[in-house]
Amino acid sequence: MTIAVEELTGQGLVSADLFDRLVTRIAKEHDMKRELATRIVDQALAFLRASGEYHRAPLGPSELVDIGWHTFILYTREYADFCNNVVGKFIHHVPNDDGEGEADPTQVITRTKDAIRDLGFAVDDDLWLAFNLTCNSGDKGCRSSGADGNENTDTNTSDR
C-alpha cells in the first residue's frame, strides 16, 4: 500500500490575510486573473523559503515568480518577519543592473525547482518556464546579501 504524501504550499508560510493582500495587489497591478496571481505568490514564497537553505550554486526565480518576490518586498515589515521567522535570514533583493546572468538560465531554474521540491513544496512547472532570469541568489543578478548587507563581501551567506 502506497501512502500519498501531500506537498507543502508556499501559501501555508504566511497568514491568509497577507497572502490575499499579495494576490490582490499582483492581480490589480499586472492586470491578471486572481488564479494566476495566487499561483505566482505561492511559488514566490516557496522560492524564498528555499533560498534560505545552503546551496552550492545560486537559485533564481522565473520572470513570473519574480513578480511575487517584488510584490512581497513592498510589505517591508511582513517581508522582514517572513525572512527572519520562516527563512532564517534576510533575503536582500539586489537588481541585475548589468543584465548579465548565469550562462545557462535553464540550469538555475532546474536547480531552483529541485531545491523547492527537496523541501517538500509543490512546484508549479508552468510558472518556471520563463527563462529570462533577472534575479538569482548568487553572484550575478538579484541576490541575497550577507549578514552585514553587503553582497560583495565574504559574509555573503548565499554562497555557503
Q: How far apart are alpha carbons 54 and 160 in whole angstroms?
A: 6
Residue 4 lies in a domain: no
Domain of 49?
Answer: 10-159
Residue 15 lies in a domain: yes
Residue 5 lies in a domain: no
Q: How far apart are alpha carbons 148 and 155 in whole angstroms?
A: 7
Residue 132 lies in a domain: yes
Residue 19 lies in a domain: yes
Q: Are 72 and 11 in contact (CB under 8 A)?
A: no
Cell of 122: 509543490
pLDDT per residue as tens digits for the range 103-126: 578 888 999 999 999 999 999 999
Cell of 16: 491568509
pLDDT per residue as tens digits for the range 61-109: 999 999 999 999 999 999 999 999 999 999 988 676 665 655 578 888 9
Question: Is 151 a residue whose pLDDT tops 50?
Answer: no
If one counts the domains in the chain, the total is 1
Residue 3 lies in a domain: no
